Chains A and B, each alone.
Chain A
Amino acid sequence: MILILTTHGDHSTDQTIDWLTHYKAKYQRININDLLVDQTISYKIDSTQDEFTINNKSSKDFTVIWFRKSGVFRSSYLMLKSKSILKDQLSSFLSFEYAAFVQSLKISFKNVTWLCDIESVEALDKTKQLILASKAGLDIPKSLITNDKNCAAEFVKKLNGKSIIKPLAESEIFNAGDAKYSISPKLLTQIFFKALKTKKFLPSLIQEYLDKDIELRIFFLDGDCYAMAIFSQLDNQTKIDYRNYNFDKPNRYVPYALPTTVIENLKCFMRDVGLNTGSIDMIKTKCGRMVFLEVNPKGQYDMLSNPCNYFLEEKIAKSLINKLN
């Protein structure tokens, strides 16, 4: 049987499940954010055995696991309530508890085939990605992680003043009442460093600014690449980051045929990071460079499947079914 680890309300999961039903495959869906609502997990451990059950089904029944999403525990009512009681003390404790539980999930499954291996996902960080991508033959942006103003200024100068600063972990949007603050890639200039008063700061990632022709989003599945070109350069609002969505005139999203060498390099890279699926971001520059930016193992593939008519939901269902045999 197939086990799907996901969250409540994930549309992409719903659609893939429709195809699993269509092909009469047996599956069990578990919404990790519903652990506080209606899902039952039990993990019995004693001197003779350890037995893990999910909604009364033994973990031994599951031979294929799709790790779709790890849950939005942060916004669960328990978390929100804890914030109002003991500020961050309680909520950070709960986060650690939750992380420890996810850790124990991993151990409880033996001899399963993963679609999106949980271990590989957790071992993935930006620097590791860049190093392995480069080893796999992919072009990557020149990058620097530093906490030092002079170091950074020097680097930016070498790049002819054009560079970008972006979060080492994830981009975020913070809500404060009606105001929204977003932490997303921003252009850096040398003037920025002149104005900067402090000499040291939290280690930050600086990368060369790539003069985009188009952005590429690639969904990788079992060695196949489904690519889409995003014409974000046509629109000033989305020049640096296409997520600054323009609702009146959405960017053009069209299918793209990757050069075979890039496909081979991507296959090699994905094998090295231990992933059989993920959403890959790349940029094609004006001078024709194809630059790898990052892979997101749990990216929203429907933003690619729908405009390109790729039927990725069906392909994922078929991939899961194939893994059963």
Chain B
Amino acid sequence: MANSYINLFACCLIVKGNRRSTLVDIQRGTFIFLPLNISDLLLTSRSITIGQIFSSYSVEDADEISKYFDYLIENEYAFYTMNPESFPLLSLDWKTPHHITNAIIDYDSGSRYNIVDAISQLEHLGCAVVQIRFYSRVGLEFLLQTLNGISKGSGRIRSLELILCFNEEISKEQYRKLIKKFPRVIKITVHNSPFQYKYQFPDSINEIEYINQHIKDETHCGFVSPEYFRANKYFFTESQTFNSCLNRKISIDKFGEIKNCPAMQIGYGNIATMSLMEVSQQSHFQDVWNINKDKIDICSDCEFRYLCTDCRAFTQDPHNRYSKPLKCKYDPYTMVWS
């Protein structure tokens, strides 16, 4: 025992904040807190035996440390081994074969651009995940037309989320039929609804949800709080190097302006005159993709920085491109959510 090593499972990763660390379990999708000195110890424990660790501390400290070790072993965050070199660290590389991976399309009663054409362009780009947000009511006819456009494509859009404004002329049953017909629609959220309702399709991920909240425009976004935290490999590794919201994202706002995010100021051209491909290949369009959390003020000291989704549309100081998200109420220096 004394000459063995304590080794974190490669999927349990330490993120050091200013005053404490998180231990993020990207396999089971959870995280716990650790004191900084314990996380420092774990970061070096691959090369120091348990015996060596304990012998360099006082009896009380060693006792405290061993309590943490027991906890980590008991809860399967770590294991003892004689051969730490057999267990390499996880590579934190992130890459994708797709130039664009996700898109947001906004549409309201004043929108005049051709949404079916926009979607077929996304299909062509190989964009796998698409969210369409309708701020005002749309009829079933229009929805069917839009979705028919998608189903004619080559199937590269793999999941589609629809945010719809409540329309009493369309029943829950009709939405259900819609999803049955177009299973790539993985979620329909109906906002501004007088009632709440949730339906999960049996044996599938598809769902329908009615919510009371009225989503009037693109400002309903960018909230940072633990309920939105994500602990998974894809997100964690992408956040290491890239912006956790905007990387490889393309958006069309309700006026047809092509942007990184509909809520951001800068537009790069209108869909009426420019293609998504053209815009997405401009290097200044891609600039924000590389703003990872380590570059952002305050966030770079935060133990949640690879768990929360960044926001560049609403920041504390709009003149500073590295400013902290406005809608985050956490202070990593006091460890308090205000």
Contacts and interface: CB of A to CB of B under 8 A. Distances in A.
Contacts of A257: 85-88
Q: Which of A18, A19, A252, A253 has the most CB of B within 10 A?
A: A252
Interface string A246-258: 0001101111110
A231 interface: yes
Given A18-B126, A249-B28, A307-B27, A254 B87 contact: yes
Interface stretch (A85-93, A99-107, A308-316): A308-316
B172 to A, nearest CB: 28
A234 B79 CA distance: 10
Interface string B69-95: 000000010010000011111111101
Given A19-B97, A21-B126, A253 B88 contact: no
Given A22-B97, A311-B95, A254 B76 contact: no
Contacts of B126: 18, 21
B233 interface: yes
Contact of B93 (A21, A252, A309): A309
Interface in B45-104: 76, 79, 85-93, 95, 97-98
B9 A254 contact: yes
Contact of B76 (A18, A234, A311): A234
Interface in A112-145: none
Nearest to B156: A18
Q: Which of B10, B79, B89 has the most CB of A within 10 A?
A: B10
A255 B11 CA distance: 9
Contacts of A308: 10, 90
Nearest to A313: B97
B237 interface: yes
A306 interface: yes
A19 B233 CA distance: 19
Contact of A229 (B87, B89, B95): B87
B27 A253 contact: yes
Contacts of A256: 86-88
B97 A21 contact: yes
A250 B29 CA distance: 11
A307 B28 CA distance: 11
B6 to A, nearest CB: 14
B97 A314 contact: yes
B232 to A, nearest CB: 10
A2 to B, nearest CB: 15
A308 B11 CA distance: 8
Given A22-B97, A311-B95, A252 B76 contact: yes
B74 to A, nearest CB: 11
Given A19-B97, A22-B97, A309-B237, A252 B27 contact: yes
B233 A231 contact: no
Nearest to B77: A252
B27 A309 contact: no
Interface in A197-255: 229, 231, 234, 249-250, 252-255
Nearest to A20: B97
A252 B86 contact: no
Given A21-B126, A22-B97, A311-B95, A253 B11 contact: yes
Contacts of A18: 97-98, 126
Interface string B11-42: 10000000000000001100000000000000
A309 B11 CA distance: 10
Interface string B122-149: 0000100000000000000000000000
Contacts of A19: 97
A234 B97 CA distance: 36
A252 to B, nearest CB: 5
Interface in A17-51: 18-19, 21-22
Contacts of A253: 11, 27
Given A252-B11, A254-B11, A306 B97 contact: no
Nearest to B94: A309
Nearest to B89: A255
A306 B88 contact: no
Interface in B104-121: none
Nearest to A15: B97
B91 A309 contact: yes
Contacts of B97: 18-19, 21-22, 314
A250 B92 CA distance: 21
A22 B9 contact: no
A247 to B, nearest CB: 11
A225 to B, nearest CB: 13
Interface in A237-288: 249-250, 252-257
A106 B101 CA distance: 38
A252 B233 contact: no
Interface of A: 18-19, 21-22, 229, 231, 234, 249-250, 252-257, 306-311, 314
Which are the 9 A-B pairs with shortest beta-carbon distances?
A22-B97, A254-B10, A18-B97, A19-B97, A252-B9, A309-B91, A255-B88, A257-B88, A257-B86
Interface of B: 9-11, 27-28, 76, 79, 85-93, 95, 97-98, 126, 233, 237
30 contacts: A18-B97, A18-B98, A18-B126, A19-B97, A22-B97, A231-B9, A231-B76, A249-B28, A249-B76, A250-B27, A250-B28, A252-B79, A254-B87, A255-B10, A255-B88, A255-B90, A256-B88, A257-B87, A257-B88, A306-B233, A307-B11, A307-B233, A308-B90, A309-B90, A309-B92, A309-B233, A310-B91, A311-B93, A314-B95, A314-B97
Given A250-B27, A252-B76, 13 more contacts: A18-B97, A18-B126, A234-B76, A252-B11, A254-B10, A254-B11, A254-B87, A254-B90, A256-B88, A307-B11, A308-B90, A309-B91, A309-B92
